Structures are given as structure tokens and as C-alpha cells.
């Protein structure tokens, strides 16, 4: 009987089985590394000056033009719910804008951690009225979101909007690092900027609900300026070109509907206010599909100022982004 | 027999390699391996998340990184700019501080050239207010002049115009009322004069004077006053009695805690309260009424004898006041104007003048110069000035 050991790799050669196993393992590692690298690679990342800039472009949420219904409605009343309902009713009702199953993003102005009485933020009752109408129209889901200047949690709490979200079971989206994406626009000053995209990813309709208030840099903050709250990064640098960027917002965002809350108007010391004596009760809500027309009415009739001063309105009008001559639009004025 | 006698074959080196294949691996080594693999996986996930979104700030210019090159180099011409020298586009954030107090009714100018990276917020003492019924809603917030916009946005340029140094703010919830709170803002300026200037700019004409702060007023749900170089705003969230009671208690607390300092405000104290139109008080640091000799002037409008008039006062040394009065007299007689020296009144020298259809009466008494300007009725101006000098208008 032979006592030689059975032939194996001890003779200096690798067995076929072992080779296959090791080659397989190496190949699997290489393939895994390749897959991981591909997954981690961010095709949208760019280094300024070295690559062409790319970013998302928002779709239009606007409805097709309807010549049989007004595009602007002005309602006068004593309390928010009735006046908002009257304004939207004059446009044909919320069912004109929101259908069953829609996912609606409502953008209020919650820039500051101010109480509602100071009229520096969207009034909770205005948001409540709009949100209720949206839900009555059959929306499947309603988001509210903003990227405030002050702490988001504090702003939504102190403005009273968090309570509204809780009462009506609205989904409140706070801005987080992952919520932003680069936006691309052929604006006058807004070309490529970080944008609060998360609330819009699933939205099928967008409604802006803005207070009507003084702003010491651009004279007024209304429905067009409301979209400033969607920008991220060091957006304050746009203050140097405030009128250009506000007119750019009319290019950036084509909402389904905007609502300008003029029940209580911050007449001076805006945008933050701070004195009840700066707030004037105007008892008016303006709703419409043309932000330029809505803001034009707000500036002249609610802030009671000369439209010639409001540079961004004229810029937006001249760029074809809306009609500053609101009285030439198909409009309706009602009493709640 | 043959097998036991045969020499054993030499062990192949390959056999040693096979002996390194371990089948019994200790638990600690398995755990360590798992931890390392999880760490690598976590790093990969983190990279994916972080890299998913573009951050424009990544490539923003950090001018604070340039500070190391701003210092003068020994043996060479200094590279530091002297204070007060500004470059185009640097007005506001990086310019040397300059008192800039416009008339109270003037609009704030928009910010320009705010391209420099903001300095880090100045930290300081937390705003602690020990009053029953209050509870802090969060930590004290601090903002410097550069990042003040993060709190008050478009209002920041107005404050920067008066050389604001810091904002310290904190909110306090009202224990007895759910949802009620009081916000406290303390804007610290570089001087009491500038604090006053900003306070005057935002003054509410309908505000009611405060008994605990000479420069202060109460609104319907807010208390606003200047204490030293600090402009304090205490704002209630609503008008419920408990909230308002706590808000006024906070305001009184701050008035006691903050140091009093009226440096540069002697002229302000001279403005009489009787007939004063509150929101018209203004401070003009230089070239008041277009006159180089009128500096640090306080002026206000008054209701007097059925009419309105504008009164100003400047407090300085007696010699300077006398020189200013003489210069004003000489100027008023030029360009077709008519200036007349009036009899002294209550220890003061006076002159009356008419220029371009309006009248003025100017006085000088020791280190004080002032008067009524730009009125259609010279007699009204003289009456006001003489009554003021006699202490009949306080």
C-alpha cells in the first residue's frame, strides 16, 4: 500500500476547485465595488467653472386658461373663513383647482417667529380656510411647507400654523439638509440655486397663501415674494437685487392658485413688524391665478400705495409673467 | 515493513499555507470584523447621502480666511486699510462704523454690497429673566451686525445704519396660558445716541409714554424703550391680561437690569414734552439744516398755538455755541435774507430771520443753541422760543 500522501496543492499547484472559488470571490468583490461606486456617483454634482450647471426645473402647476371663469376674485368680509370661501367661490370654487386624489402643496409665509396678530406671517385662519376647501374638494393629501428665516420649529409654532396642521391632519414638512436640490432657471438673477424641493416631489397642485405686508427693501411682500421661502443657502445676498429676484419668482413658480390675505395688513415696519398699531384691518381676501395681478391689487388697494413704486411688478409685467393691470383681467368682487 | 523504513517525504511549503486556513475563529474577532464592515457600509451610506445634494456654500468665499493676510508685514508697506476707508460695494457690513441717524420719518436705505461672509455671532450672557409665571422657550439667540438679517431679514439694514453691534433675544412662554409667549429683543448699539436713533426711527406715534423709561412707549401688545446703548423690544403674543401683565413685568425688569447711560443725549433731554409730536423726534449727527456748525442736533415738531412748528437744540461748549450762533446770524443775512438781533431773553441771545418765505428764531444760552425754523409765522416762532427759555414750555 502506498504511503504517499494523496495528490493535492501541496505539490505547489492550485487545484481547479480552489482557483474557481478564489477567482469567483475576487470577481464578486470587484463587481460589488463597481456597483457601489456607481451608486455613490452623483451625476448632478458639479464644480462651478468646470462643468455646465444642471438643476431641476419645476413643472407648471397652473391650470389651462379658462375664459368663462374669472382669473381674479376680491372678497370683503369680517372673518377669514367666510371671506376666503367667498373669494374662491367667486373663482368657481376650489373644485376648479383641486380634484379628487390631488396631492396639494400649500405654501404659507412663515418667515418669522411672530404671533399671528402682528400680521408678519400667514394667518392661521387663512391657512385653515384654504386647507379645508382643498380637503373638501377631495385632495388625497395636503402638505404645508416653508423654509423660514428664523428657526422652522419656532416659526410654525409661534405663528399658529403648526396647530392648524395638527387640527386638520396636514403634513407639515420642515426643511432638512436632504430636502434641497439644485434649481435651474433662466432668471434675471436666479440662475442656479438650492431649492426646497421635497414638498414638490409628489405635489400635483400648488397653492400659495401669503399675507399682504410692507417690506422695507422692496416695499411689499405678497404672493410673488412668498416663494422666496423656497430658496436655501445664503439667499440674503439676493437682497441686493430684490426687485429682480421677486420678478424671477413669477418665472420660477407657476402655481395653481394664490391667495392674498388682506384681512389684517402690516402697513409699515415690515417685513417683521412688531407693533399692533402697524396692522390695519382691511377685511379683504384676493385670490387668483395671476400673481402679478393679485399683487397689483394688493399694493394699491390694501397697502394703499402708488403702483409706480413697485419695481418688481413692472419687471414681471414687462417680462410677460403676468398682468399688472388687474382691472383689465376677468375679475369679480364679492361681499362675504 | 518497507513502509516503516521508508523516509517520510519532505513537507511541501504549500502545506504550511494551508495550515493558515483557520476554522476556529474567536468570537471577539468575528465581532470586530462585523463592526468594521458596518462602519465601512455606514461611511458609504453617509457619502451617498451627503453627496446627493449640492451645497452652493461649499464654494462660497470665506473672507474670514483672508484675515491672516490682512496684517501689516514688517518692513513693508502696511496692507491694512485705515479706519473709515471703504471700497466700493462695502457699505454696510464691512465699512468702519459711522453714526448715521436720519430724520425719524426718513425711509431706511436698502443694503448694498453685503458680499462679505458674515462674522460668527457674538456670544454673550444668556438672557435670564427670573419672574414667576415665565419659562424660557429655548436658548438665548445671539446675532451680530453681519448676520442680523437671519433674525429680522429686511429690517437689518436700518439697524446697521445705526451701528448695531448685537442682538440678544429670547422667548418666554406664559405658564398659565397654553400658546401664549413673550419675545424679548435687546439690540445693542455702539452708543446711546445710535440706540436712540433707531428707537426714534421706529417710534409708534400712538405709543403711550413709559414711566420707567424716558425714551420709551407702550403699544397695544409691546413695550419699546432705550436703556443706555440698548434698544429693547418686549412683544407679547396676544392681548390676554396674563400675557400683557408678564410682558410689562419683563419690560420693567429689563429697564432695571440694563445700565443707564445717556451720553450724548443731553440735547434730547432739552426737547420739551409739551406739544411734542412724538414720532417726529430725530437726531442729526452733522450738517443739520445744511449748516456745518450744527452737529449732534435733536429736533422735533410741536403743536403750538394752533399751528405746527419745528424746534431744534444742540448742546455743546459755551464757546462753540456762541460761535455757532454768530455763524447762523451771518448766514441768515445772506442771499437776500433779513436777520435781526432781538433783545436778550432769560439770559439768552436771540435773533430772528426771514429767508425764502420762511422765518426762524435762534437762541444761544451758555452751551446750548437752538430755535424754531422754517415757519411761516415769525411771531409764533419767537413766542415759542421765549416761553421755552422762560421755562414755560417743559
- Cell 440678544, residue? B168
Output the CA torsion A165→A169→A174→A177 (10° steps): -170
B150 has a chain A CB within 8 A of its CB: yes
pLDDT in tens, B198-209: 998 888 888 898
Q: A265 pLDDT exceeds 50?
A: yes
Contact across the interface for B153 and A236, Cβ inside 8 Å: yes
Contact across the interface for B111 and A215, Cβ inside 8 Å: no
The stretch A27-51 carries a mean pLDDT of 75
| Helix, coil or strand: residue A291 | helix
Contact across the interface for A218 and B47, Cβ inside 8 Å: no
What is the pLDDT at residue B83? Answer: 38
What is the pLDDT at residue B110? Answer: 33
Q: Residue ranges per domain, chain B?
A: 134-257, 266-389
B129 has a chain A CB within 8 A of its CB: no
What is the pLDDT at residue B292? Answer: 93
- Cell 444760552, residue? B365
| Helix, coil or strand: residue A9 | helix
Contact across the interface for B44 and A36, Cβ inside 8 Å: yes
Cα–Cα distances in angstroms (integers) from residue A321 to residues A96, A289, B58, in the given order: 22, 11, 33
Give the three cell numbers for residue A73. 376674485
Stretch (H or E) spanning B144 = strand B141-144
Contact across the interface for A158 and B171, Cβ inside 8 Å: yes
The interface residues of chain A toward chain B in range 103-142, judged by CB-CB distance below 8 A, are: 111-113, 115, 117-118
User: What residue of A is the nearest CA neighbor of B43?
Assistant: A40
For domain B266-389, the CATH architecture is: 3-Layer(aba) Sandwich (3.40)
What is the pLDDT at residue A52? Answer: 56
Q: Are A135 and A205 in contact (CB under 8 A)?
A: no
Give percent above pLDDT 90 in chain B. Answer: 55
The stretch B202-222 carries a mean pLDDT of 90
Contact across the interface for B204 and A278, Cβ inside 8 Å: yes
The stretch B98-109 carries a mean pLDDT of 36
Give the three cell numbers for residue A26. 475576487
Contact across the interface for A178 and B52, Cβ inside 8 Å: yes
Tell me the chain A residues in contact with residue B154 when contact means C-beta distances shorter than 8 Å.
Answer: 215-218, 239, 270-272
pLDDT in tens, A293-312: 999 999 999 999 999 999 99
Give percent above pLDDT 70 in chain B. Answer: 77
The interface residues of chain A toward chain B in range 288-317, judged by CB-CB distance below 8 A, are: none
pLDDT in tens, B285-295: 789 999 999 98
What is the pLDDT at residue A12? Answer: 57
Q: What is the ipTM of this complex?
A: 0.78
Q: B71 pLDDT exceeds 70?
A: no
User: What residue of B is the nearest CA neighbor of A228?
Assistant: B153
Rounded Cα distance, B60 and A105, in Å: 31
Contact across the interface for B114 and A237, Cβ inside 8 Å: yes
Q: A208 pLDDT exceeds 60?
A: yes
A112: left (phi over 0), alpha (psi -120 to 50) or beta: beta
The stretch B176-200 carries a mean pLDDT of 94
What is the pLDDT at residue A320? Answer: 96
B44 has a chain A CB within 8 A of its CB: yes
Residue of higher predicted confidence among A151 and B109: A151
Across chain A, mean pLDDT equals 92
Contact across the interface for B155 and A239, Cβ inside 8 Å: no
Contact across the interface for A276 and B51, Cβ inside 8 Å: no
Backbone angles phi, psi at A210, to 5 degrees: -125, 145
**Candidates A217, A231, A278, partner chain B, best to mutate (most B CBs within 10 A):** A217
Tell me the chain A residues in contact with residue B44 when contact means C-beta distances shorter than 8 Å.
Answer: 36, 40
The stretch B171-180 carries a mean pLDDT of 94
- What confidence category does residue B64 fall into, taking pLDDT thresholds of 50, 70 and 90? low
Q: A250 pLDDT exceeds 50?
A: yes
**Candidates B13, B54, B244, partner chain A, best to mutate (most A CBs within 10 A):** B54
Query: Could you give the count of Cα atoms lying within 13 Å of B369 in the half-sphere of its Cβ?
Result: 22
* DSSP character at residue B6: S
The stretch A45-56 carries a mean pLDDT of 59
Counted across chains A and B, CB pairs separated by less than 8 A come out at: 142
B113 has a chain A CB within 8 A of its CB: yes
| Chain-centroid distance, C-alpha A281 | 27
**Candidates B50, B53, B142, B152, partner chain A, best to mutate (most A CBs within 10 A):** B53
- What confidence category does residue B356 fall into, taking pLDDT thresholds of 50, 70 and 90? confident
Residue of higher predicted confidence among B84 and B307: B307
**Topology (CATH) of B134-257:** Protein Transport Mog1p; Chain A (3.40.1000)
User: What residue of A is the nearest CA neighbor of B182?
Assistant: A115
pLDDT in tens, A125-151: 999 999 999 999 999 999 999 999 989
Across chain B, mean pLDDT equals 81
Lowest mean pLDDT among B65-79, B181-195, B223-237: B65-79
What is the pLDDT at residue B382? Answer: 94
Tell me the chain B residues in contact with residue A158 when contact means C-beta distances shorter than 8 Å.
Answer: 171, 181, 237
Q: B90 pLDDT exceeds 50?
A: no
Contact across the interface for B204 and A163, Cβ inside 8 Å: no
Q: Which domains does chain A have, with CATH numbers?
A: 72-335 (3.40.50.11440)
Tell me the chain A residues in contact with residue B238 when contact means C-beta distances shorter than 8 Å.
Answer: 115, 117
Cα–Cα distances in angstroms (integers) from residue B279 to residues B105, B203, B263, in the given order: 8, 6, 22
What is the pLDDT at residue B69? Answer: 52
The interface residues of chain B toward chain A in range 355-374, judged by CB-CB distance below 8 A, are: none
Rounded Cα distance, A146 and A136, in Å: 23
What is the pLDDT at residue B96? Answer: 32
pLDDT in tens, B1-59: 444 456 555 555 555 555 667 778 899 999 999 999 999 999 999 988 887 765 655 55
User: What residue of A is the nearest CA neighbor of B146?
Assistant: A236
Tell me the chain B residues in contact with residue A218 when contact means C-beta distances shorter than 8 Å.
Answer: 154
- The answer to whether the peptide bond before residue B254 is cis (omega within 30 degrees of 0) is no
Contact across the interface for B222 and A274, Cβ inside 8 Å: yes
The stretch B340-345 carries a mean pLDDT of 93
Q: How far is B200 from chain A (nearest CA, A)?
A: 13
Q: A236 pLDDT exceeds 90?
A: no
The stretch B292-304 carries a mean pLDDT of 92
The interface residues of chain A toward chain B in range 76-105, judged by CB-CB distance below 8 A, are: none
Contact across the interface for B14 and A193, Cβ inside 8 Å: no
Nearest Cα residue to A326 out of A309, A307, A312, A311: A307
Q: Round the CA-based radius of gyration of chain A to a whole number and report it.
A: 27
Q: Are A110 and A147 in contact (CB under 8 A)?
A: no
Q: B114 pLDDT exceeds 90?
A: no
Tell me the chain A residues in contact with residue B119 when contact means C-beta distances shorter than 8 Å.
Answer: none
What is the pLDDT at residue B313? Answer: 95
pLDDT in tens, A81-93: 999 999 999 999 9
Q: How far is A152 from chain B (nearest CA, A)?
A: 12
Of B3, B44, B151, the CB nearest to A150: B151
Q: B118 pLDDT exceeds 70?
A: no
- What confidence category does residue B98 fall into, taking pLDDT thresholds of 50, 70 and 90? very low
The stretch B51-80 carries a mean pLDDT of 51
Q: Are B236 and B243 in contact (CB under 8 A)?
A: yes
The interface residues of chain A toward chain B in range 25-44, judged by CB-CB distance below 8 A, are: 36, 39-40, 42, 44
The interface residues of chain B toward chain A in range 201-260, judged by CB-CB distance below 8 A, are: 202, 204, 206-207, 219-222, 224, 233, 235-239
- What confidence category does residue A3 fall into, taking pLDDT thresholds of 50, 70 and 90? very low
Q: Which of A7-21, B72-86, B120-134 has the highest mean pLDDT?
A: B120-134
Q: A284 pLDDT exceeds 80?
A: yes
Amino acid at each position: 500500500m502506498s504511503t504517499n500522501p494523496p495528490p493535492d496543492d501541496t505539490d505547489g499547484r492550485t487545484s481547479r476547485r480552489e482557483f474557481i472559488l478564489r477567482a469567483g470571490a475576487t470577481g464578486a468583490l470587484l463587481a460589488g465595488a463597481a456597483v457601489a461606486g456607481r451608486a455613490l456617483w452623483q451625476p448632478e454634482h458639479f464644480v462651478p467653472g468646470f462643468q455646465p450647471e444642471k438643476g431641476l426645473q419645476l413643472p407648471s402647476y397652473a391650470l389651462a386658461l379658462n375664459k368663462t371663469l374669472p382669473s381674479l376674485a376680491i372678497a370683503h368680509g369680517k372673518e377669514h373663513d367666510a371671506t376666503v370661501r367667498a373669494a374662491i367661490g367667486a373663482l368657481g370654487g376650489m373644485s376648479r383647482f383641486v380634484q379628487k386624489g390631488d396631492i396639494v402643496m400649500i405654501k404659507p409665509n412663515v418667515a418669522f417667529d411672530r404671533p399671528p396678530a402682528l400680521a408678519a406671517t400667514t394667518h392661521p385662519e387663512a391657512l385653515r380656510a384654504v386647507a379645508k376647501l382643498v380637503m373638501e374638494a377631495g385632495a388625497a393629501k395636503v402638505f404645508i411647507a416653508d423654509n423660514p428665516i428664523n428657526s422652522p420649529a419656532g416659526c410654525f409654532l409661534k405663528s399658529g400654523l403648526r396647530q392648524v396642521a395638527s387640527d386638520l391632519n396636514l403634513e407639515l414638512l420642515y426643511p432638512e439638509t436632504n430636502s434641497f436640490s439644485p434649481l435651474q432657471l433662466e432668471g434675471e438673477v436666479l440662475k442656479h440655486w438650492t431649492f426646497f424641493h421635497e414638498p414638490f416631489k409628489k405635489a400635483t397642485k400648488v397653492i400659495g397663501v401669503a399675507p399682504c405686508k410692507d417690506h422695507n427693501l422692496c416695499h411689499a411682500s405678497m404672493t410673488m415674494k412668498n416663494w422666496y421661502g423656497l430658496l436655501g443657502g445664503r439667499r440674503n445676498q439676493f437682497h441686493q437685487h430684490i426687485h429682480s429676484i421677486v420678478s424671477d419668482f413669477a418665472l420660477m413658480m407657476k402655481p395653481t392658485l394664490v391667495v392674498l390675505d388682506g384681512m389684517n395688513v402690516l402697513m409699515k415696519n415690515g417685513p417683521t413688524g412688531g407693533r399692533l398699531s402697524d396692522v390695519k384691518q382691511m377685511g379683504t381676501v384676493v385670490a387668483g391665478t395671476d400673481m402679478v395681478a393679485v399683487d397689483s391689487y394688493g399694493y394699491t388697494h390694501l397697502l394703499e400705495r402708488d403702483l409706480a413704486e413697485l419695481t418688481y411688478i413692472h419687471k414681471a409685467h414687462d417680462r410677460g409673467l403676468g398682468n399688472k393691470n388687474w382691472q383689465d383681467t376677468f375679475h369679480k368682487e364679492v361681499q362675504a | 515493513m518497507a513502509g516503516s523504513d521508508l523516509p517520510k517525504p519532505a513537507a511541501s511549503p504549500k502545506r504550511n499555507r494551508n495550515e493558515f486556513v483557520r476554522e476556529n475563529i474567536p468570537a471577539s474577532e468575528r465581532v470586530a470584523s462585523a463592526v468594521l464592515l458596518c462602519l465601512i457600509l455606514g461611511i458609504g451610506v453617509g457619502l451617498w447621502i451627503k453627496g446627493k445634494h449640492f451645497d452652493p456654500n461649499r464654494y462660497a468665499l470665506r473672507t474670514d480666511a483672508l484675515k491672516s493676510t490682512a496684517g501689516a508685514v514688517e518692513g513693508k508697506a502696511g496692507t491694512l486699510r485705515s479706519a473709515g476707508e471703504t471700497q466700493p460695494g462695502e457699505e454696510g457690513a464691512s465699512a468702519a462704523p459711522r453714526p448715521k441717524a436720519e430724520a425719524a420719518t426718513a425711509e431706511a436705505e436698502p443694503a448694498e454690497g453685503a458680499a462679505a461672509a458674515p462674522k460668527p455671532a457674538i456670544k454673550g450672557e444668556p438672557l435670564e429673566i427670573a419672574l414667576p409665571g415665565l419659562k424660557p422657550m429655548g436658548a438665548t439667540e445671539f446675532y451680530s451686525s453681519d448676520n442680523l438679517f437671519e433674525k429680522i431679514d429686511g429690517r437689518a439694514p436700518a439697524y446697521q445704519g445705526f451701528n448695531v453691534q448685537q442682538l440678544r433675544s429670547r422667548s418666554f412662554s406664559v405658564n398659565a396660558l397654553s400658546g401664549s409667549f413673550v419675545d424679548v429683543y435687546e439690540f445693542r448699539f455702539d452708543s446711546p445716541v445710535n440706540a436712540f436713533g433707531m428707537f426714534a426711527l421706529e417710534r409708534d406715534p400712538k405709543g403711550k409714554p413709559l414711566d420707567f423709561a424716558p425714551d420709551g412707549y407702550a403699544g397695544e401688545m409691546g413695550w419699546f424703550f432705550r436703556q443706555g446703548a440698548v434698544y429693547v423690544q418686549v412683544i407679547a403674543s396676544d392681548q390676554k391680561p396674563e400675557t400683557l401683565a408678564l410682558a410689562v413685568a419683563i419690560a420693567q425688569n429689563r429697564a432695571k437690569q440694563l445700565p443707564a447711560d445717556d451720553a450724548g443725549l443731553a440735547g434730547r433731554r432739552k426737547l420739551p414734552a409739551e406739544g411734542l409730536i412724538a414720532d417726529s423726534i430725530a437726531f442729526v449727527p452733522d450738517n443739520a439744516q445744511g449748516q456745518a456748525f450744527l452737529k449732534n442736533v435733536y429736533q422735533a415738531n410741536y403743536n403750538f398755538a394752533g399751528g405746527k412748528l419745528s424746534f431744534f437744540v444742540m448742546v455743546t461748549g459755551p464757546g462753540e455755541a456762541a460761535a455757532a450762533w454768530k455763524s447762523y446770524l451771518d448766514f441768515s443775512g445772506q442771499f437776500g435774507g433779513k436777520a435781526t438781533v432781538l433783545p436778550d431773553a432769560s439770559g439768552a441771545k436771540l435773533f430772528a430771520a426771514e429767508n425764502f418765505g420762511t422765518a426762524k428764531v435762534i437762541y444761544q444760552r451758555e452751551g446750548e443753541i437752538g430755535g424754531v425754523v422754517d415757519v411761516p409765522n415769525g411771531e409764533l416762532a419767537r413766542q415759542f422760543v421765549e416761553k421755552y427759555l422762560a421755562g414755560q414750555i417743559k
